[in-house]
Structure 1
């Protein structure tokens, strides 16, 4: 390895423009507090605010002087901190993902932020190394240097071995590392954004977050500025017209306006987040995701760290035959944080396209992503209906009693009666969503109604099994089997299956692991908890 590779490197000097601005924005509430407190006490509010801004800018500039990093043959290291000095060291074989992000200010200055996912956790501060900001070419080179390093090292070792063989050194002499230039591999496009996919934007409902943010901002601004929004002429005129309508028309109008606004905001958010989306596979064994209109993002995932895929189908998106594809891997968020965490391999798109991309990513049987699943039987169906209808029936009974013996309005129990068909439909849909299968080395499980998910998890990614039974599950002869993994949600459940079926799935996924717990093909009696009830089940856990 050349000496320059292991030297400590600094962030780009152009970050001195970005970091002070970021720190001032982050400290804006405190600076506003200084302004208000200073003005009310002695009239020096603006002066105190300027002092606060100067200190914040100074702290923002010190990051460039105190942050350095280097790549050694075994580790990636980052030194940072002014008063509290820290050195973060991560072995190179722990690097799972590299995320390169550029917001509009970064792009203007030709910079990028690099986040190195180590797989320890996808939560805040959970094992990520962040470098903000590097020059865009340097960030791209760093991504290659970290994730394509193994191939280059192997090539270097092969070159060194060939050279030493030709020269005839001693067989036990260690080969010196050889620095060779990285050769660009071949990229194969797996998916790219099509304009017709934008029609799925309104059905993501991401605009609801925008509505909440705008409403909170306007409310806070009006409160801080002591402004009565109802006295503003356009608002006053609109409220007067709205108040002149009948109640049913008011409700219909409000719902229609909200639906239109959410649809427009969701579509705009879809375009901003996924414009220019492109999923490619590199010949060195990595997947690349590039997307973003104003803020661009490039995520690289090692395929050998990929443990499976998740189909996510929210109710509205499922109604228009759409789906999202999420990677089950270490170091990236899933669930509600998938988009922000970078694990989304395909934005909301036609379900057929999502299935096709999943087959190309997994490189396996199409039955893994679209094949039939084993239903969970009548007991699981009864459990769905009793849980859904039981809550509503209990609510109706309580409301009827209170209505009879107090002044509770009658509409409370009438509304409960109206909810019975809705809950029955949800229960039926939840049961139809249940299913599991063992296909081509993957455990496939599906669950959910409002958000239906289907996960294909590799056997090799499963590190343990957990079998749990609640009081009511024991009475129904059912269990919940959880496949524990270090990737994604850290656990994927097969809900409400028979105990024998759960044992079969776990035994097939991890041969020999459950042998101590079974005898003659049937589970052994479960151990009892000392001092507890005799029917408390103990989970089967293996690491």
Structure 2
């Protein structure tokens, strides 16, 4: 005879949660207010040493600092995160609650950032980027901030797609030695003025000078030296004033670009870890660490803007899923000599440079040259016509018409150079394509990473028998073009790159209609 079921014994111990929620590091409560206070140091120094400046700015900033302390405490109290077997979850917010969940199989990159104040307290910001299409539109997740050791452990765990043991703290396991692919060469700083950052450098230097004068409460023109220089410049001939301003802007551009280069790329190292993950570490004041999963890498792009190309420089970028769009979202290195960019691109793809950037490219048909020249010269001729109309309408600008004729030979050279840079090649594992003149780009895209093809043909291309073929991929720019090749060659290139992709569209023998007698 069966007796009554025994009730479970109450032990008074709560069951262990499989994947417990974690808090951010409590030291984050100090980081944000301290960062705000540090920004006040120049103003405080000016007030103490010179007695000039605006004391109200100090009181306002101190009040905001106190508010930041309160908000930081609330943020720390209401922020939780956890890592499960298949997801990374983040809950935060008090008045406005936010729930973020990122599937682990969609994680593409893990970026670690540590500003100077973060580094002082041994903290890092962990940014987890996932591929588009993750649930609830959760493409990015930030943990601000965790300890440096925990951040390193999170990076390895998330890229390896292994959940930590339930209830265990995340710690950085002993990793095998990484293969070093590149490190900073101080001579590369010579390429800094040849990049877009040189323009940003003007803003950096001018912004720093303007902030200094603003903290002093001084109008720059009230400074005797500056005022005298401005008066002399205004009284000088136009050509001389323009030349002086041009030289000053050039100096500011060079100085600013060098400063930005050093801050961004100091201590640069590119390594490949045992699991194939590429890691880029760089930064002087703000340390950054970008990790790109080797499983998600689909190729490398070598970028050569006009000025950098004129100095025989280039920069390699990763073509991978999940990378942020931005100035340095997938940069594998700073601006470097072109040979070094080709070497790094080949090393990242585990190929010889002659197979990637140095691969012999197939020339495009002469009709492509005609299109390049027609478009370049046509645009230049239109501008010349407008210039002559302006000269006829305003006699004081009669020099504009003759000066505009210089655009025609420039356009001719530009069209020839654009055609010279057109080319493509198909290797055993990669599709290599090059195009551009003002900005030449060479991409080596894995054939296995091509998921489709787009064929485009304008009215003018149809008359010339040309077509633009785009290899569609989930990585990078989502598609890379081979411009102006013969229509038959475009179809053959796509078929050879992805064998079998077009088989369902080909007619079968059974579908061929019988021929009537």
Q: TM-score by structure 2 length? A: 0.82
The separation in 2 between residues aligned to 1:67 and 1:421, in whole angstroms, is 62
Superposition deviation, residue 360 in structure 1: 1.6
Q: 2:230: which partner in 1?
A: 239
**Bigger mean CA deviation after superposition, 397-406 or 230-239:** 397-406
Q: 2:158: which partner in 1?
A: 146
Alignment of 1:34-113 (within 5 A): 54-113=66-125
Pick from 272, 276, 289 the counterpart of residue 285 of structure 1: 276
Pick from 132, 135, 142 the counterpart of residue 147 of structure 2: 135
Q: What secondary structure sits across from 1:6 in the alignment?
A: coil
The separation in 1 between residues aligned to 2:174 and 2:60, in whole angstroms, is 56
Superposition deviation, residue 131 in structure 1: 0.4
C-alpha contact (below 8 Å) 2:275/2:294 kept by paired residues: no
Superposition deviation, residue 277 in structure 1: 0.7
The separation in 1 between residues aligned to 2:363 and 2:133, in whole angstroms, is 33
Q: 2:415: which partner in 1?
A: 427
Q: 1:449: which partner in 2?
A: 437
**Deviation string for 1:353-394 (max 9, x for gaps)?**
222222221112432221121122211111111111111212
C-alpha contact (below 8 Å) 2:101/2:138 kept by paired residues: no
Q: CA RMSD in A?
A: 3.4
Pick from 191, 196, 212 the counterpart of residue 203 of structure 2: 212
**Bigger mean CA deviation after superposition, 362-371 or 209-218:** 209-218
In structure 1, list runs of 5 or more residues that go unmatched: 27-43, 157-178, 521-543
Superposition deviation, residue 419 in structure 1: 1.7
C-alpha contact (below 8 Å) 2:204/2:256 kept by paired residues: no
C-alpha contact (below 8 Å) 2:423/2:433 kept by paired residues: yes
C-alpha contact (below 8 Å) 1:74/1:91 kept by paired residues: yes
Distance 1:48 1:349, change over 3 A: closer
Distance 1:243 1:224, change over 3 A: same
The separation in 2 between residues aligned to 1:4 and 1:259, in whole angstroms, is 62
1:323 aligns with 2:314: yes
The separation in 2 between residues aligned to 1:222 and 1:196, in whole angstroms, is 34
C-alpha contact (below 8 Å) 2:113/2:287 kept by paired residues: yes
Alignment of 1:343-422 (within 5 A): 343-366=330-353, 367-401=355-389, 403-404=391-392, 407=395, 409-422=397-410
Q: 1:496: which partner in 2?
A: 484
Superposition deviation, residue 489 in structure 1: 1.0
Q: 1:31: which partner in 2?
A: none
Q: 2:52: which partner in 1?
A: none
**Deviation string for 1:294-321 (max 9, x for gaps)?**
1111111111100000001122222222
C-alpha contact (below 8 Å) 1:189/1:280 kept by paired residues: yes
C-alpha contact (below 8 Å) 2:105/2:161 kept by paired residues: no
Distance 1:221 1:237, change over 3 A: same
The separation in 1 between residues aligned to 2:372 and 2:138, in whole angstroms, is 36
Superposition deviation, residue 227 in structure 1: 6.9
In structure 2, list runs of 5 or more residues that go unmatched: 1-14, 40-55, 509-517
Superposition deviation, residue 502 in structure 1: 1.4
Q: 1:191: which partner in 2?
A: 182
Alignment of 1:116-135 (within 5 A): 116-120=128-132, 127-135=139-147
